[in-house]
Amino acid sequence: MTHSTIRAAAQPGMGKAMFVLFAALVFAVCSLWSMGAMAQDASERAQAQVQKQQTQPLNNSPVWEGVASGESFTTVTKGRETGVLINKSGETWRQMRNDWISYYGGWAVALVFLVIMGAHLVKGPVKLPEPRTGKLIERFTSAERVAHWTMAFSFVALALTGLLLMFGKHVLAPWMGLTLNSWLASISIVIHNFVGPLFAVSIIVFFIMYVKDNLPEKNDIEWLKKGGGLFGHAPAGRFNMGEKIWFWGGVTVLGIVVSATGLILDFPNFDQDRLLMQQSHVIHASAALLFIIMSMGHIYIGSIGMEGALEAMRDGYVDETWAKAHHDAWYDDIKAGKVSPVRSKEGATAMGSQVMAQ
């Protein structure tokens, strides 16, 4: 092989090597130049900060880094948070409220509402399997109904005003305007703050009056197995397992949570710090949305979802056909004489001859 042939064969490889070497050299030169420029810029910034510290001692990077650190410094005014100028937890709370609680909570409320309405349109309300006999059973006394409706109306007021405060600017403001929405929000927060303590007291009264008949029974497991009646007849005492879940999980647990956190937010004059208020609001809003979601099923069944259910809480009485169909164990106890069909003197007077004979 001649020298010319070897040089010809080596030229492509040498060309590539020379290109790589040239590119590396250019990269190195650019890097050194940029590093020098960055160093010079950093030096200039440092000098500027030194000069600024002399002319504006309280308006320079070290000062603002300390301010934004969240640490507590010495101040003339004394208090829980007076030493902290910028509290970063406020932004964390705002993002959690807007990006998580209101977003996912709002969709959850809307989805459950649509599911309930869809089921109502497709299947309709639960009808009585047999004609009414005209014989009545006293299901709720006047005192029990007053306790229920006091809690119910205060809950609805809190739910509506709370939803307006959380979603008003997203749902109402676009079509009614910011001015009217702000008026509604101002009115809502006043109603919310004043009705809240009433709701807390009503929960205590309601719990005392209803806890006895909401204790666990042997029929509760069978009721769950039957899916509350979706997979066959579900036996139940005076209150079925669904009502007991609502009583313990909704009214009792969630009711206590929203009441306790609500009182913390309602009365901030007991030396609560900012962090406690933010944590209370996150818990309050999350529990309230779950409370509202659970209540939608209860309100639907107790109003238009089941024939005769609203009459029970409105008037206090149910037909024996209703009791036999939905609370057969309770009905059997009445037939056997273990439980009286009349629960108050007022009921005995009002029902008269319509009372169901034992």
With a pLDDT cut of 70, the percent of the chain lying above it is: 74
List Cβ neighbours of 312 (8 Å cut-off, separation of 6 or more): 139, 140, 318, 322
| Better-predicted residue by pLDDT, 348 or 66 | 348
pTM, two decimals, is 0.78
Q: For tokens 């439980």, name the residue.
A: 339
Structure tokens at 208: 């005392």
Burial label for 234, CB within 10 Å (0-12, 13-18, 19+), is buried
**Which of 264, 282, 254 shows the shortest CA–CA distance to 98?**
282
> Are 246 and 294 a contacting pair, CB within 8 Å?
yes
Looking at the DSSP bridge assignments, the partners of residue 318 are 137
**What are 136's strand-pairing partners?**
319, 355
Helix-, strand-, coil-residue percentages of the chain, each rounded to 5 = 75, 5, 25
Distance, in Å, from the CA atom of 114 to the CA atom of 293, rounded to the nearest integer, reads 12
**141-149 contacts at long range (C-beta below 8 A, 24 or more positions apart):** 141/316, 141/343, 141/344, 141/346, 141/347, 142/316, 142/344, 142/346, 143/209, 144/209, 144/210, 144/316, 145/313, 145/314, 145/316, 147/202, 147/205, 147/206, 147/209, 147/210, 148/206, 148/313, 149/313
- pLDDT for res 223: 93
**Distance between CA 132 and CA 326 in Å, rounded?**
13
Task: Look at residue 268 in the predicted model and tell me its pLDDT.
Answer: 86
Mean pLDDT of 28-44: 59
Using CA atoms, how far residue 326 sits from 309, 317, 337, 354, in Å, is 10, 14, 19, 20
pLDDT-based confidence at residue 31 (cuts at 50, 70, 90):
low
Beta bridge partners of 138: 317
Grade residue 237 by pLDDT with cuts at 50, 70 and 90: very high
pLDDT in tens, 46-82: 666 666 666 666 666 666 666 666 666 667 666 666 7
Cα separation of 89 and 81, whole Å? 12
Q: How far apart are CA 2 and CA 14, in angstroms?
A: 18
Instruction: Return the beta strands (E) in 128-198 as ranges.
Output: 136-138
DSSP, collapsed to helix, strand or coil, labels residue 189 as helix
pLDDT at residue 113, rounded to an integer: 97
